[in-house]
Amino acid sequence: MRDGTPGAAIDVALFRLRRIWARPLRSRKIADPQRPVQLSNVMVVHAVHKLSLDVPEVTVGAVAEQLDVDPSTASRLVNDAIGAGFVEREESEVDARRARLVLSGRGRRVLEVVVHHRRTYLDGLIADWDEADRETFARLLTRFAEAAMARPADLVNLDQVIAEAIQEPTTLR
């Protein structure tokens, strides 16, 4: 299945990166040796932080949108992050019937450490590149990410193509 196009090379590279970065953090421990830091906790911490920069109050619904998950899934993820001590639920200052989410001190520390660790790792990966290549890569990767966000994959069509493919003999090599 090699077609030699830039899209094919990007597809392979992204697949390889996803396998590296999707490894769960379950073996990593923070503070409480009985409580593993879950990737989902880190995702919620990032979401609450990012949203807090843009909106007056962060809600579970906003976290659901930020993480692109169902509200029930977001509620479970937020509750897990609260249970881990990374997020706190406070009474809304706008509507007493709602709750707002804020990072705890522990959550802010986790965010700081995770961001620092990730950026140090990424800087190390490109440390031997010349400055122009690093800047070009950052610019093009940012442009690529923005294009992907503006035009998400058509998963409905993908489901249809897969359904048709499993009913026909394969032509891929």
Classify residue 1: in a domain, yes or no: no
The count of structural domains within the chain is 1
Length of the chain: 173
Q: What's 79's domain CATH number?
A: 1.10.10.10
In a domain, 70, yes or no: yes
- Residues of the chain with confidence (pLDDT) below 50: 24-32
47 lies in some domain: yes
Give the per-residue pLDDT at 26.
44
**Distance in angstroms between the alpha carbons of the first and the last residue of the chain:** 5
Query: How far apart (Å, rounded) are the C-alpha atoms in residues 98 and 144?
Result: 37
59: nearest Cα among 90, 105, 24? 90
Whether 114 is in a domain gets the answer: yes
Question: Which residue shows structure tokens 């802010």?
Answer: 108
pLDDT tens string 57-95: 999 999 999 999 999 999 999 999 999 999 999 999 888
Q: Kindly state the tokens that stand for 57.
A: 């109050």
Q: What is the extent of the structural domain holding 96?
A: 26-125
What pLDDT score was predicted for residue 171?
A: 59
Tell whether 173 is covered by a domain: no
The CA angle 124-30-43, to the nearest 5 degrees, is: 65
pLDDT given for residue 165 in this prediction: 87
Query: What are phi and psi for residue 29, nearest 5 degrees?
Result: -120, 145
